[in-house]
A and B are shown apart, each in its own frame.
Chain A
Amino acid sequence: MKTRNNKAWFLVLPVILTVSFTAILPLMTVANYAVQDIFSPTDRLFIGMDWFYNITNDPLIFNAFKRSFSFSIQVLLIQIPLGIAIARIMPKSGWKASAALVMVAIPLIIPWNVIGTTWQIFARPDIGLGGYLINKFIDFNYTSDPLDGWILILLVDVWHWTPLVILLVYAGLRSIPPAYYQAAAIDGASQVAVFRFVELPKLKRVLMIAILLRFMDSFMIYTEPFVITGGGPGEATTFLSILLSNIAVGQFDIGRAGAFSLIYFLFIQILSFLFFTVLTLQERAEVTKAK
């Protein structure tokens, strides 16, 4: 086996120093908060795992978890098929392809709170163009009807993030050698068969990336519901991150928020790990074979 020179790790040192100030020290602080009831910097009480019992048995948090989870599932069910469909009908070459790519990428480069504000006004029944037009046909008011609020947030997320899926799938489709399509044409394969047996297997890896990225991002969604509905109407769009910030900076219940953050952080860790594992699965298999 080749000897590995590990000295290059010293180049990572600046990053580790930066991260320790921006992430590790705050994490340690949050972990300390999570085991104490803090009234003031000098007046704090060690309470062990009480906040964790409180958090894991709190229906409010459990409901927010279910809400976040089902939101992520719905996001995936809409965005992945829609992304594939749009990527397949996009122009393959020439100026039209460039124009389509730029058009598709526009939502991705708009700041998140700008998107929130834009949609908030756009969907208003009184002064928003979209809300006004929809109210000609059906009753739509995202500030009073829980379902409408949910649909609006879902719609904003679809508008904002389907482009990411489209770009990934588009790149995946471009990387399929023309020979596959020619072979399919010679065999007289139908459009459906080409999609099912040529494109889908080749897109597997790219789709895996898209699914995991979209799942993680939508699971952590904060800005859009914060700006558009503020977690309402009622609790309809109170996702985990909204609830967490309410507890932490709204009620200043930092012990409870600390325990909540740690559990939330754990879930994100697990998802990130799955993400990383799937991405490197191929390389890992090769490493084993080489040994």
Chain B
Amino acid sequence: MLNWMAWTTPIAIVFTSVVIIIAGMTIWGHYSPPKVHKGFLRITTDRGDRLYIAYISAAFFMVCFIGLVEGALYVGVAIAAAIAAVILKWG
């Protein structure tokens, strides 16, 4: 039935983790409502906002990295993860 979607394992892992993260954030938000704060991004964010910003920032960095650097994908992923972590913590 899902043959037309041409599933591959890596993409399945990506989307499964997105679903798990969103579900996890929902449950976490239910038991301890998120607090807003203002970090170096200069806008008021709660943790869900920061998660989204971290996600698109990391993705944007990866696109630039792939465009500028040949190979060394793991280095790019590590830097992207670091960027995401910084935004999640201090954004």
Contacts and interface: CB of A to CB of B under 8 A. Distances in A.
A285 interface: yes
Contact of B14 (A31, A49, A270): A31
Interface string A1-13: 1001010000000
Interface string A247-291: 000000000000000010010011001000100010011011001
B53 to A, nearest CB: 7
Interface string B43-85: 1100000001100100110010011001001000000000000
A285 B29 CA distance: 21
Contacts of A33: 6
Interface stretch (A36-44, A104-112, A170-178): A36-44
Contact of A273 (B33, B35, B53, B67): B53
Contact of A41 (B3, B37, B43): B3
B16 to A, nearest CB: 11
Contacts of B4: 29, 41
A196 to B, nearest CB: 26
A285 B6 contact: no
Contacts of A57: 67
Nearest to A255: B6
Contacts of B8: 32, 35-36, 46
B36 interface: yes
Contacts of A46: 8
A284 B63 contact: no
User: Which 3 A-B residue pairings sit nearest by Cβ, starting from the closest?
Assistant: A56-B67, A284-B44, A32-B6
A77 interface: no
Interface of B: 3-8, 10-11, 14-15, 29-30, 33, 35-38, 43-44, 52-53, 56, 59-60, 63, 66-67, 70, 73
A95 interface: no
A25 interface: yes
Contacts of B56: 266, 269-270, 273
A273 B35 CA distance: 20
A224 to B, nearest CB: 27
A132 interface: no
A270 B60 contact: yes
A53 B66 contact: yes
Nearest to A33: B6
A289 to B, nearest CB: 10
Given A35-B11, A56-B66, A266-B63, A25 B43 contact: no
A263 B29 CA distance: 30
A52 interface: yes
Contacts of B53: 273
A3 to B, nearest CB: 8
B63 A49 contact: no
B11 A28 contact: yes
